[in-house]
């Protein structure tokens, strides 16, 4: 620190310069350790900030708080809010600051002393002025200066207080002496004066009236042995640190042990020094160990080299074997997939797709369908059946699909004909049939991919929570007609004809407008019976299965007619096709219906919610059509196209313009929700009726 005294040309000049640095010793016991958070500043201007120093709450140990003063040009790290900090020396326990220069001069005219004396009392801080690292300098003539270890007062040219260090200078110039001991405060005073002028202003302009000073510091006010016994306040937190008592006699410093470097005041702050990683390693074959290094003998180097070489060789062999195994396994899997693909007629299917333009049919990979269904997660299951499980899926472009994983194939012939059958099924295009989008052939049992139909099945609509009572008779008749049209198309207009083989209410899906879409046609594995017809190998569903098929094991188009007759009964009665919980003679809906017709109790079995005196004729006509479909002998049953035509005529009778509507839109609102009422009404939701003889007359006339 410089103490600088100056007067005008008619005043007595005296310049006292004190240049010193001091280490900081903590003068109080740290109660708790506050570790810096990730957002604490690590640098201010050109100065690195190391804990225990820090800026802001929670960033510094108590007593080591600094501040970062930002100017237009740069940032300055400051101590006590005003003293610039140049360097923090963590291992030495020192901090270098820029201290203010003090001046004092005598004014003869006023006989008063003009003084700018800067003294800083550090007794309440962790810092002390260093006695070894600073030089006390005085510039002036006939000057006497004092350096004290406590605060002294200067009254004109009389200095009061202890005088451990005295500098006397009687000629113009300067004098320097080392500061004898560490001090917590400093003041200087002049005793004699001379009128000689000494202009030293330019000398200090560069430093803006400040000179460098070293402060010593230490943590706490006890020795290392005492500090270690106190939980929560011991500052040497790194496991690779050591504690050093302060030379002052109280407080201590933390240093990293030999072979480590870093910040000992932080957990894991001291890190091992890798001596072997330097540009010039200490020895050949240098091996780094924690805190030191090891230089093996030449023989050891050979052994190590041999061991390392052997290890690398063994690792290389293991990696090579693993890669070879994985390569062969992948190749083996690819061959298996190729085998399945060819086995299921994939090459033929590819050839047909390339030859026939306009076929919207895709061959999916197993990986695509696994990704689309989220690895066939159970949450995506839409339904289970005897032939497999159907999953909801989403393709990469966002379109929804339904993926059916079939259970098994029962014969090699089925596998060989599968590709041909897929070509036939892919060409089916009917608005009331679920579209088959593609298949996956590279698995043991092929997977089929259909368009996604959002509103569930007819079975759920009839027997679900809402119940059949919410469905108007006109809607039931429309769904029956649409289903019959789909089956008639498969039987009579598809080339070659296709038999469904598993017609039931759970295989009739409902789209966003609650229009019927027949599904699972050919979803069971298809097998040819002759060169022109492909049929389904049926496991069948109890309650829907054709009794004639049970006797002959021959599936015909009339087998689908029988099953459809059971679906008609479900729509008429609101009851399930087979009910295990009922009496034995009432478990089969078909047998129960036929008995009721035979005994003249038809209206007893019809759903009471659709019975209306004006609709009795239409109900009887639909019931009679159901009875014809349920004939025990297949030849007596009508063809599906005849069933569709009759349902179409009955539907038109209900929509005859001179018959007033019976039902109101509120009935449909409870069925499908407010948003779907309008679309269903457009299809036709009102019930119309007329006298039975008028109905019969219209039917006979072909209207």
Separation CA 270–CA 259 (nearest Å): 9
**Residue 486 near residue 644 (C-beta atoms within 8 A):** no
C-alpha dihedral sign at 298, 301, 303, 309: negative
**Residue 551 near residue 563 (C-beta atoms within 8 A):** no
Decide the pairing of beta strands 173-178 and 135-140. antiparallel
Name residue 400's beta-bridge partners: 394
Separation CA 248–CA 129 (nearest Å): 12
Separation CA 48–CA 67 (nearest Å): 13
Decide the pairing of beta strands 65-70 and 54-55. parallel
- 652 is annotated as contributing to ligand binding: no
Task: Report, as residue numbers or ranges, the catalytic residues.
Answer: 502
Q: Is the backbone peptide bond immediately before 496 cis, with ω within 30 degrees of 0?
A: yes
CB within 8 Å of 542: residues ≥ 6 apart:
577, 578
Q: Report the candidate in 321, 228, 238 with the shortest Cα–Cα distance to residue 51.
A: 238
Decide the pairing of beta strands 210-217 and 94-100. antiparallel
H/E/C letters for each residue in 566-634? HHHHHHHHCCCCECCCCCHHHCEHHHHHHHHHHCCCHHHHCCCCCCCCCCHHHHHHHHHHHHHHCCCCH
H-state helical runs in 404-501: 412-426, 458-463, 473-488
**Residue 87 near residue 79 (C-beta atoms within 8 A):** no
Binding-site annotation: residue ranges: 404
Which positions make up the binding site for ATP? Answer: 404
């Amino acid at each position: 620190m410089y103490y600088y005294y100056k007067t005008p040309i008619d005043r007595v000049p005296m310049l006292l310069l004190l240049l010193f640095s001091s280490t900081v010793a903590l003068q109080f016991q740290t109660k708790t350790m506050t570790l810096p958070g990730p957002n604490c500043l690590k640098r201010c201007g050109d100065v690195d900030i190391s804990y225990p120093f820090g800026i802001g709450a929670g960033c510094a140990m108590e007593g080591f708080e600094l501040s970062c003063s930002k100017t237009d040009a740069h940032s300055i790290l400051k101590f006590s809010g005003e003293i610039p900090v140049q360097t923090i020396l963590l291992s030495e326990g020192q901090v270098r600051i820029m201290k203010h220069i003090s001046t004092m001069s005598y004014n003869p005219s006023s006989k008063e002393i003009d003084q700018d004396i800067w003294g800083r009392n550090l007794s309440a801080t962790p810092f002390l002025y260093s006695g070894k690292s600073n030089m006390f300098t005085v510039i002036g003539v006939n000057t006497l200066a004092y350096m004290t270890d406590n605060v002294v007062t200067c009254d004109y040219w009389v200095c009061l207080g202890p005088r451990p260090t005295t500098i006397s200078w009687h000629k113009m110039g300067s004098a320097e002496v080392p500061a004898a001991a560490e001090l917590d405060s400093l003041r200087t005073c002049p005793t004699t004066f001379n009128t000689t002028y000494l202009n030293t202003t330019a000398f200090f302009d560069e430093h803006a009236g400040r000179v460098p000073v070293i402060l010593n510091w230490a943590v706490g006010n006890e020795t290392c042995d005492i500090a270690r016994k106190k939980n929560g306040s011991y500052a040497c937190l790194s496991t690779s640190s050591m504690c050093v008592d302060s030379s002052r006699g109280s407080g201590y410093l933390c240093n990293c042990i030999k072979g480590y470097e870093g910040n000992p005041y932080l957990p894991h702050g001291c890190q091992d020094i890798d001596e072997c990683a330097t540009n010039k390693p200490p020895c050949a074959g240098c091996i780094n160990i924690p805190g030191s290094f090891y230089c093996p003998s030449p023989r050891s180097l050979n052994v190590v080299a041999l061991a390392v070489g052997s290890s690398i060789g063994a690792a290389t062999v293991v990696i090579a074997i693993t890669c070879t195994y994985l390569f062969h396994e992948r190749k083996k899997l690819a061959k298996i997939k190729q085998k399945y693909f060819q086995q299921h007629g994939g090459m033929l299917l590819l050839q047909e797709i390339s030859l026939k333009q306009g076929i919207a049919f895709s061959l999916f990979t197993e990986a695509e369908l696994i990704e689309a269904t989220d690895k066939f997660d159970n949450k995506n299951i839409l339904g289970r059946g005897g032939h497999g499980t159907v999953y909801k899926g989403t393709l990469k472009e966002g379109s929804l699909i339904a993926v059916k994983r079939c259970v098994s194939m029962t014969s090699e012939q089925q596998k060989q004909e599968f590709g041909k059958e897929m070509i036939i099924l892919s060409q089916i295009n009917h608005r009331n049939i679920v579209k088959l989008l593609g298949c996956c052939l590279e698995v043991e049992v092929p997977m089929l991919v259909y368009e996604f139909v959002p509103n569930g099945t007819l079975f759920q609509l009839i027997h679900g929570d809402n119940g059949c009572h919410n469905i108007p008779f006109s809607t039931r008749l429309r769904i029956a007609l649409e289903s019959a049209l789909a089956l008639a198309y498969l039987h009579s207009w598809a080339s070659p004809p296709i038999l469904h083989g598993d017609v039931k209410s759970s295989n009739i899906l409902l789209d966003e407008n609650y229009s019927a879409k027949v599904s699972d046609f050919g979803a069971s594995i298809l097998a040819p019976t002759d060169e022109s017809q492909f049929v389904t190998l049926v496991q069948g569903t109890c309650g829907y299965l054709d009794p004639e098929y049970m006797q002959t094991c021959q599936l015909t188009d009339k087998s689908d007619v029988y099953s459809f007759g059971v679906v008609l009964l479900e729509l008429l009665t609101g009851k399930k096709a087979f009910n295990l919980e009922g009496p034995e003679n009432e478990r089969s809906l078909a047998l129960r219906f036929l008995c009721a017709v035979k005994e003249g109790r038809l209206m007893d079995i019809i759903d009471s919610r659709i019975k209306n005196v004006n609709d009795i004729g239409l109900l009887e006509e639909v019931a009679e059509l159901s009875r014809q479909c349920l004939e025990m002998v297949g030849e007596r049953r009508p063809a599906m196209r005849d069933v569709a035509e009759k349902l179409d005529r009955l539907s038109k009778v209900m929509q005859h313009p001179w018959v007033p509507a019976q039902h109101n839109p509120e009935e449909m609102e409870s069925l499908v929700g407010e948003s779907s009422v309008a679309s269903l009404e457009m299809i036709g939701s009102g019930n119309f009726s007329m006298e039975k003889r008028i109905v019969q007359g219209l039917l006979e006339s072909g209207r």
